[in-house]
Amino acid sequence: MAKILIIEDEVNIAELEKDYLESNGFEVEVEHDGQKGLDKALENTYSLVIVDLMLPNLSGFSIIKRIREHKDIPLLVVSAKMKEVDKIRGLGLGADDYITKPFSPGELVARVKSNLMKYNRLVGKSIEENTITVGDLIIDLSTHEVVLNGESLIFTSKEFELLAFMAQNPNVAFSKERLFSRIWGADNYGDIATVTVHIQKIRSKIEEDSSHPKYIETVWGVGYRFVD
């Protein structure tokens, strides 16, 4: 499910946008303050961001510029600013589309879907086919990249293979022997304790508190499982 952030200070408009998008299957979050909206956009993972230009504490222009410096996701402007110079500036800073108020909710939904489809075509395949997203964790199977809260993490090849395998089989408890055989090979005579070592290293990178893991749980008497 695509997750969308709306940064809009007019509560009625934000709720209207949210209702229509949710009725079309999107997960939606709303922020009414410009600075808080930017912080949320940078700290979390969204498929698309809808931003107004006239916002308290930080303008939509600044938000677009800052997001574009850190993330490559579709940005859609919904604003009462109708002058061509404002549209040119917004698009020039990195916005992908521009809708002027008042607008048709149906048009907004159509523009959101269009921009998501266009973005997915540009990256080659759909995001769902290429990545595993759980909360703020993104595992890119094509580039072998792991991103947490917008920050790219450094993983060894075995760490990535182990994390990716478990994430592709969520909520399944695997024994250390099964994981060792799958990642290091059935004919490898290494110590299965290496699985524990690698799990600890992965947790140190993706878990906020390794003693209370959110993503990789220990199943006592069995092994480990990835929780989606």
Class of domain 3-122: alpha beta
With a CB cutoff of 8 Å and minimum separation 6, the contacts of 131 are 138, 139, 140, 141, 142
pLDDT per residue over 23-60, tens digit each?
988 899 999 999 999 999 999 889 899 999 999 999 99
pLDDT of residue 125: 46
Q: Is the pLDDT of residue 217 over 80?
A: yes
pLDDT band at 81 (very low <50, low <70, confident <90, very high): confident
- Angle CA(54)–CA(60)–CA(62) in degrees, nearest 5? 130
With a CB cutoff of 8 Å and minimum separation 6, the contacts of 78 are 8, 13, 17, 50, 51, 52, 99, 100, 101, 103, 108
130-226, what's its fold? Arc Repressor Mutant, subunit A (1.10.10)
Q: Cis peptide before 102, with omega less than 30 degrees from 0?
A: yes
37-46, 56-65, 147-156, range with the lowest pLDDT? 147-156
- Taking the model in full, what pTM does it have? 0.55
Instruction: List the chain domain ranges.
Output: 3-122, 130-226
- Per the prediction, the chain carries an average pLDDT of 87
- The secondary structure element, H or E, covering residue 35 is helix 34-43
14-18, 77-81, 183-187, range with the lowest pLDDT? 183-187
27-36, 133-142, 144-153, 188-197, range with the lowest pLDDT? 188-197
What does the DSSP 8-state code read for residue 69? H
The CA distance from 62 to 228, in Å, is 34
The contacts found for 216-219 with CB under 8 angstroms, 24 or more apart, are 216/163, 216/166, 219/173
Q: What is the dihedral of CA 65, 112, 127, 198, to 10 degrees?
A: 60
Q: Is the pLDDT of residue 126 over 70?
A: no
Q: Is the pLDDT of residue 202 over 90?
A: yes
